Amino acid sequence: MKVTIVGAGNVGATCADVISYRGIASEVVLLDIKEGFAEGKAMDIMQCAPNTGFNTRVSGITGDYSKTANSNVVVITSGIPRKPGMTREELIGINAGIVKGVAENVLKHSPDAIIVVVSNPMDTMTYLTLKATGLPKHRVIGMGGALDSSRFKYFLSKALDKPIGDIDGMVIGGHGDTTMIPLTRLASYNGMPVSNFLQQDVLDKVAADTMVGGATLTGLLGTSAWYAPGASVAYLVDSILNDQKKMIACSVFLEGEYGQNDICMGVPCIIGANGLEEIVDIHLSDDEKAKFAKSADAVRNMNADLKEVLA
Ligand SMILES: NC(=O)C1=CN([C@@H]2O[C@H](COP(=O)(O)OP(=O)(O)OC[C@H]3O[C@@H](n4cnc5c(N)ncnc54)[C@H](O)[C@@H]3O)[C@@H](O)[C@H]2O)C=CC1
Ligand SMILES: O=C([O-])CC(=O)C(=O)O
């Protein structure tokens, strides 16, 4: 199975590293516009193989999409990341043109690929990719919820002082500082509701920390995060390539699901060989429904800025 990652920067290269280290694909192509950059990242990753023992072939290329031909999955991580103090939404001006161009280029050589969109503002970039390419909704999947959910589990494990692997939870809604919806009501520790162990004010703090998880890391690092984002993309790609049918919160096109239409937003999805295989209805409470509708309003507002690029 072949995966192309367009944008060999922090997130793209980390994703390639995790995919190869875990043997998720037999071939990974990294593509970037910066001369020699993807080649360098691929060479560095390949030189791990003797010591970590993987067999994935990782190669890098500058701008030549013919090398990406017949990819099963294409990941779009090209574009600029935010700096401290910025929102993801401020990236739209530069990233919209990049993402549209990349999506069109990859499809010329991999007409059957499933596209995973990572560049921010991710929900709007996913919507743009779907509209610009005309691909069916099952082949355009935005990655954000997998990452936000792993941050949610991290903050829950800290609050509970219990191992992160014993925690389950999901974040739906938009992938933005104010649009994420951590589902604290449904989060669990070894199958038991976390509300059995944590007071509401602690749960509220966990949710708030989760929502600004990306902004907190951007403040600490000077650019946005890459280890957990790269690993989250690899987790999603694994479910596609190996037909795992995992339930993962992903940004996908909604046609009435969760009361929304003509928008891409994070909802629980079954992800398998066909990409998006099912949107799962988890019966939100009235409060969660209200939050989802508010989140959708904000994402829709952002999508309105695509008028020019989609014209
Ligand atoms: N959806 C999510 O959960 C997450 C999204 N992101 C987003 O992912 C994007 C990438 O982030 P980083 O890897 O940290 O940035 P980065 O700056 O390290 O890497 C971006 C790469 O894209 C390349 N690039 C730019 N235009 C290109 C084009 N037209 N064709 C091919 N390559 C091109 C650049 O040369 C650069 O190497 C950002 O927009 C960031 O906000 C980052 C983390 C999580
Ligand atoms: O925070 C950012 O800008 C990058 C991102 O989407 C994340 O790490 O969640």
Residue 119 annotated as part of some ligand binding site = yes
Which class would CATH give 145-310? alpha beta
Which of 170, 166, 173 lies closest to 197, judged by CA? 166
What residue's CA is closest to ligand 2, atom 4? 224
Which atom of ligand 2 is nearest to 86's Cα? Answer: 3
pLDDT of residue 68: 98
pLDDT of residue 209: 98
The residues spanned by each domain of the chain are: 2-144, 145-310
Identify the CATH number of the domain defined by range 2-144.
3.40.50.720
For the chain, the straight-line distance linking the first and the last C-alpha, in angstroms and rounded, comes to 35
Residue 163, preceding bond cis, omega within 30 degrees? Answer: no
Which of 240, 46, 76 lies closest to 144, judged by CA? 76
What's the chain's average pLDDT? Answer: 98
pLDDT of residue 311: 87
Measured CA to CA, the distance from residue 296 to residue 281 in angstroms comes to: 16
Q: Which residues are catalytic?
A: 175
Which atom of ligand 1 is nearest to 12's Cα? Answer: 13
pLDDT tens per residue, range 152-201? 999 999 999 999 999 999 999 999 999 999 999 999 999 999 999 999 99
pLDDT of residue 39: 98
What is the DSSP-derived secondary structure letter of residue 77? -
CB-count burial class (<10 Å; 0-12, 13-18, 19+) for 230: buried
Q: Spell out, as residue ranges, where the chain has pLDDT lower than 50.
A: none
Query: Does the beta carbon of 82 sit less than 6 angstroms from any atom of ligand 2?
Result: yes
Please check whether residue 260 is in contact with residue 127, taking contact to mean a CB–CB distance below 8 angstroms.
Answer: no
What residue's CA is closest to ligand 2, atom 7? 214
